[in-house]
């Protein structure tokens, strides 16, 4: 039986980089965002159901995230329709990954873990964190969104300090070395828990 570790944290906190560090430590890592990309890609399981409700969201046989954003901006009620299509399929993808994995530790990288009440389904939660100044700097440096868009995303997420307070482990991602040391430490703690279980 594998140990399920939920990995979460707000935008720009270094979650993807931290997930990569867990993979380097020999953990199996499932990424919720990557699962959504697979579902939206040409031939993906969400393409037809999305097309049946929002045909204008389809571009070259795939779901366009850009067009979905435009649809949701025009009609906020569209979000719950899209979620009703995507969430069950993401859950199927996740369950299939867990079942197929032989690793002792499986890391589930889920941005909205607490928002979706998923902490009840994992053995422990690790939250990545960094100062709000560094977070903002990282996000805006990517050049993919404006400060307004960044504020909009933050307003829809649980404040990071609340996530950190509810997590079993907190990973400070101020430097790569520091983050890597903490990841290693968490993996060792989990392994010793498994050995004593």
- 121: domain CATH number is 3.40.50.300
- 70 and 94 housed in the same domain: yes
Domain boundary among 102, 124, 139: 102
Distance CA 86, CA 89 (A): 5
Give the closest residue to 8 by CA, choosing from 158, 155, 150. 158
Domain boundary among 70, 102, 134: 102
Per-residue pLDDT for 1 more than 80?
Answer: no
In the chain, how many domains are there? 2
- 75 and 113 housed in the same domain: no
- 187 and 94 housed in the same domain: no
Instruction: Quote the pTM value.
Output: 0.89
Domain boundary among 48, 72, 102: 102
- 80 and 117 housed in the same domain: no
Q: What are phi and psi of 173, to 5 degrees?
A: -100, 40
- Per-residue CA distances from 187 to 23, 136, 194 (Å): 11, 29, 10
Q: What is the pLDDT of residue 90?
A: 95
- 143 and 131 housed in the same domain: yes
Q: Would you place residue 106 in the very low, low, confident or very high pLDDT band (cuts 50, 70, 90)?
A: very high
Q: What is the pLDDT of residue 19?
A: 97
For 150-182, the pLDDT digits (tens) are: 888 888 889 989 999 999 999 999 999 999 999
- 71 and 148 housed in the same domain: no
23: domain range? 1-27+104-197
For 11, counting Cβ atoms within 10 Å of its Cβ (0-12 exposed, 13-18 middle, 19+ buried), the class is middle
Residue-averaged pLDDT of the chain: 94
- 112 and 86 housed in the same domain: no
- 170 and 146 housed in the same domain: yes
- 189 and 115 housed in the same domain: yes
- 163 and 193 housed in the same domain: yes
């Amino acid at each position: 039986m594998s140990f399920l570790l939920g990995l979460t944290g707000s935008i720009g906190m270094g979650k993807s980089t931290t997930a990569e560090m867990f993979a380097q430590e020999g953990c199996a890592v499932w990424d919720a965002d990557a699962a959504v990309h697979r579902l939206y890609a040409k031939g993906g399981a969400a393409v037809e159901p999305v097309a049946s409700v929002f045909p204008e969201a389809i571009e070259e046989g795939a779901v366009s995230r850009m067009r979905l954003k435009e649809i949701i901006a025009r009609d906020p009620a569209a979000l719950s329709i899209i979620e009703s299509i995507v969430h069950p399929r993401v859950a199927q993808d996740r369950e299939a990954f867990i079942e197929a994995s032989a690793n002792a530790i499986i890391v589930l990288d889920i941005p909205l873990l607490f928002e979706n009440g998923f902490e009840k389904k994992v053995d422990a939660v690790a939250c990545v964190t960094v100062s709000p100044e560094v977070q903002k700097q990282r996000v805006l440096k990517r050049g993919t969104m404006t400060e307004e868009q960044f504020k909009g995303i933050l307003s829809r997420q649980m404040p990071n300090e609340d996530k950190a307070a509810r997590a079993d482990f907190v990973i400070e991602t101020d430097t790569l070395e520091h983050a890597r040391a903490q990841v290693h430490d968490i993996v060792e703690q989990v392994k010793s828990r498994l050995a004593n279980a």
